[in-house]
Structure 1
Amino acid sequence: MAWKTLDEMDLNGKTVLVRVDINVPLENGQVTDTTRIEKIVPTITSILDKGGKPVLLAHFDRPKGKVVPAMSLSQVFPALAECLGRPIRFVNDCIGPVAEAAVAAQEAGETLLLENTRFHAGEEKNTPEMIAALAKLGDVFVNDAFSAAHRAHASTSGLAAALPACAGRQMEAELQALDASLGHPKRPLAAVVGGAKVSTKLELLSNLVAKVDHLIIGGGMANTFLVAQGVEVGNSLAEREMAPTAAAILARAKEAGCTIHLPVDVVVAREFKANAAHDVVPALACPADAMILDAGPKTAEAIAKVFAECRTLIWNGPLGAFEIEPFDAATNAAAKAAADLTKSGQLISVAGGGDTVAALNKAGAATDFTYISTAGGAFLEWMEGKPLPGVDALDQ
């Protein structure tokens, strides 16, 4: 698909409504991680440099169409002001007389942050009234919130249809990375899919077997695939009722020419705690009283070899119980292998999903990946091949 960028828009003297994602973690009213805030700064700066007046629209948490003071964006405002380092003002509504007066009084070089769009029921219902109330505030719409792109809300797809629209810098980078990794990838293409349950990633696995050359399955869901092949997995987390589904995915992969890689050796323990006594055993030989908590070193080595044969990698989900040592070893080794290949220019690597980002950060590999998506649900739905209303609405 094609979408307009900020470079193609005339913004001089125009009020620019910018949908951003600043749904950041708070502790005692203080922002604890400014990553998402930092990522929107280039878009705001570009608009200001082009003579536009940015008016930021964002949601925070799930107030369900009511004003909930604990979910006010006023709590995020100080961290945003510090990251931006330019004049910015908070407005305690996003539509109606208060918002309209603030926009009318906005000076050149000044940015406005409007209150939580989800304080109004029309936002998530995508009502014509809410879209019109937002649209009357600006001349142009810029969507810089890929993380909200899977929702057809008033401040995402609604505004994109109502005003001249384009992608912001963060959205543009995300779309380019996703296009390079699954839209028009350099092949061979590998995907890592980890996590606890097959049931939560069924659509993802079904979509990927038709698109990738190598599918590496890790985490608890690998146990379900082992069960599907008649392997005993002891006390391991496994969705035994999903074994027929896993078998069907294996068959579909074979038809599509996709090679599925399951663990050849595993790390087992009798209890799930830090530094628990553990053994490395063949994947076919898990003791009846033990549980599989990580892929083994031979598996990690085999994964690194697959990466070395590939040109593109998409990663969603850890290979083991990475939160607790020593069950982070396979994830760490695979992450470092991917990072090294990326640094040497041999691999395009794109990763996304909360656990994935945390695991790659823990491995010290995240900064060397080509692109890390913080989008969560939108990243997963894109990997599943689902339409993203917030992106589709930007299509030229």
Structure 2
Amino acid sequence: MKFIDQIDIAGRKLLFRVDFNVPLDEGVITDENRMIAVLPTLRYALEQNAAIILCAHLGKPKGKAVSALSLAPVARRLGQMLGIDVPLAPDCIGPESRRMAAELKPGQAMMLENLRFYPEEIGRTEEERGDFGKQLASMADIYVNDAFGVAHRANASVVDAPRYAAMCCAGFLVKRELEYLDKILISPDRPYVCVSGGAKISTKIGILNNLLGKVNDIVIGGAMANTFLLALGHPVGKSLVETDLVPEALSIMAKAGTLGTTLHLPVDFLYAATHTATEAEGVCAATAIPDHSLVLDIGPETINNFVTVISKARTVVWNGPMGLFETPAFAEGSFAVCRAIAALDDATTIVGGGDTDAVVHMLGLPNEFSFISTGGGSFLQFLEGKDLPAIQALKECMKK
């Protein structure tokens, strides 16, 4: 596959698939990070005198036009960021959108309306997606994917549009994502530590299995640690746990020992009677969680253990918080891990996932990390060692 700076785009029309699925509060964008991430690619294209047509989705309109999920606020804000007018087409396909695209001049930009107003965009089969991707591709000379956040989805705008485009490439955002993620899978500096948290082991099984033998240490926190503790025979009280995945947890622990990866589990927790508690009832050992309670954050001894492991790392990949960080009383575990990773000198530190990203921004530390991935599901799927549909589509496009 090629990237945008490897092909001649001067004077050409470019169809950009971007990830502008940003949070809105009464029409005001409350987090612009996904838009900011793609600005270097868009500015480069405009500097090369290309005309850019942007397509994206917003929310889950379920195949119907929903005024509250119009991309109008996004187009307006993007225009302010780029310093040019970015008109919004009334639709993402159809005669008016094609007319606007046809009249677009070099150095100009426009945005198509929400792709997911059409059920074809998210059709699971080629038949369900129909010619939606073909209609999108027909508006431009070149297709550019710079939406890593949807690279794991076989949507029409992700896999079909490049199939029908005369030429395809990826933008700088996708290039940077692949460079960092390839590095941690192919040639990481060591010691290499994976920090994994969040609610469910089910979403991380593929990653843990793929990284066994590749990383030196895996630090496991969050509710997903409960399944490992249960597998070891320890009661977990009323804590969130996936009992059906106990065999998987046992398998991972057994394979870790033979493949040279050390697993680090919590040794203590903060606990409370309900997940709505605003204060911890106390600290308990991981082997003595009270029957009436659930664990909501890692405890002080675990924090010290995890920070010690992280402090020796030369490469860290982190996905998933250590506890219910949205409640201040149960945020310190996630905050301590975040600070420890941010404090590393001469290390490659990569963050992926919305909740993990939220922790980093809550502490104002995004600039202290080597890279913050813009992809949640794409990030996880990449770490599982699976092919991403978007990347495969771009590679197939280059074979034409």
Tell me, yes or no, whether TM beats 0.5: yes
2:263 maps to 1:265? no
3-state SS, counterpart of residue 358 of structure 1: helix
Which residue is equivalent to 1:107?
Answer: 105
> Does the 8 Å contact 2:190/2:314 carry over to 1?
yes
2:55 maps to 1:53? no
Out of 87, 90, 93, which is 2:88 matched to? 90
> Does the 8 Å contact 1:87/1:109 carry over to 2?
no
2:207 maps to 1:209? no
Deviation at 1:273, TM superposition (A): 5.0
Deviation at 1:275, TM superposition (A): 5.0
Matched to 1:218, the amino acid is: G
Cα separation, 2, equivalents of 1:325 and 1:70: 32
Most deviating of 144-153 and 116-125: 116-125
Q: 1:65 to 1:237 in 2, by over 3 A?
A: closer
Most deviating of 135-144 and 23-32: 23-32
Q: How does 1:33-44 map to 2 (within 5 A)?
A: 33-44=31-42
Q: 1:62 to 1:272 in 2, by over 3 A?
A: closer
Which residue is equivalent to 1:130?
Answer: 132
Most deviating of 328-337 and 67-76: 67-76
Out of 287, 291, 296, which is 1:288 matched to? 291
3-state SS, counterpart of residue 134 of structure 1: helix
Deviation at 1:77, TM superposition (A): 2.0
Which residue is equivalent to 1:200?
Answer: 203
Out of 235, 238, 258, which is 1:235 matched to? 238
> Does the 8 Å contact 1:274/1:325 carry over to 2?
no
Matched to 1:78, the amino acid is: R
Matched to 1:213, the amino acid is: N
Q: 1:158 to 1:280 in 2, by over 3 A?
A: same
3-state SS, counterpart of residue 335 of structure 1: helix
Most deviating of 131-140 and 270-279: 270-279
3-state SS, counterpart of residue 104 of structure 2: coil
Cα separation, 2, equivalents of 1:234 and 1:97: 60
**CA deviation profile, 1:98-146 (whole Å, cap 9, x unmatched):** 1221122112321011112223333223546223212221111110101
Matched to 1:206, the amino acid is: N
> Does the 8 Å contact 2:76/2:86 carry over to 1?
no
Cα separation, 1, equivalents of 2:109 and 2:40: 13
**CA deviation profile, 1:171-220 (whole Å, cap 9, x unmatched):** 11211121122243223321111112223333233323253221111111
Matched to 1:88, the amino acid is: V
Matched to 1:393, the amino acid is: A
2:393 maps to 1:390? no
Using the size of structure 2 for normalisation, the TM-score is: 0.91
Give the number of aligned pairs. Answer: 391
Out of 156, 159, 162, which is 2:161 matched to? 159
Which residue is equivalent to 1:146?
Answer: 148
Cα separation, 1, equivalents of 2:44 and 2:57: 22
Q: 1:334 to 1:112 in 2, by over 3 A?
A: same
Which residue is equivalent to 2:63?
Answer: 65
Cα separation, 1, equivalents of 2:92 and 2:280: 56
**CA deviation profile, 1:292-336 (whole Å, cap 9, x unmatched):** 221122222222222233221111111112111222112111111
> Does the 8 Å contact 2:343/2:368 carry over to 1?
yes
**CA deviation profile, 1:270-297 (whole Å, cap 9, x unmatched):** 4545652443333223333443221122
Which residue is equivalent to 2:176?
Answer: 173
Out of 8, 25, 28, which is 2:26 matched to? 28
Matched to 2:360, the amino acid is: L
Cα separation, 2, equivalents of 1:120 and 1:223: 41
Cα separation, 1, equivalents of 2:145 and 2:21: 15
Most deviating of 31-40 and 125-134: 125-134
3-state SS, counterpart of residue 390 of structure 1: helix
Out of 331, 334, 338, which is 1:335 matched to? 338
> Does the 8 Å contact 1:146/1:391 carry over to 2?
no
> Does the 8 Å contact 2:50/2:108 carry over to 1?
no
Q: 1:187 to 1:69 in 2, by over 3 A?
A: same
Most deviating of 55-64 and 276-285: 276-285
Which residue is equivalent to 2:282?
Answer: 279
2:224 maps to 1:221? yes
Structure 1: which 5+ residue stretches go unaligned?
none
Most deviating of 370-379 and 65-74: 65-74
> Does the 8 Å contact 2:268/2:301 carry over to 1?
yes
> Does the 8 Å contact 1:216/1:262 carry over to 2?
yes
Matched to 2:193, the amino acid is: A
CA RMSD of superposed structures (Å)? 2.0
Deviation at 1:367, TM superposition (A): 2.7
Out of 285, 299, 302, which is 2:302 matched to? 299
Deviation at 1:18, TM superposition (A): 0.7
Q: 1:161 to 1:185 in 2, by over 3 A?
A: farther
Which residue is equivalent to 2:375?
Answer: 375
Q: 1:277 to 1:13 in 2, by over 3 A?
A: closer
> Does the 8 Å contact 2:137/2:162 carry over to 1?
no
Cα separation, 2, equivalents of 1:96 and 1:196: 43
Using the size of structure 1 for normalisation, the TM-score is: 0.92
> Does the 8 Å contact 1:34/1:79 carry over to 2?
no
> Does the 8 Å contact 1:331/1:363 carry over to 2?
no
**CA deviation profile, 1:248-270 (whole Å, cap 9, x unmatched):** 22112222221111012222334
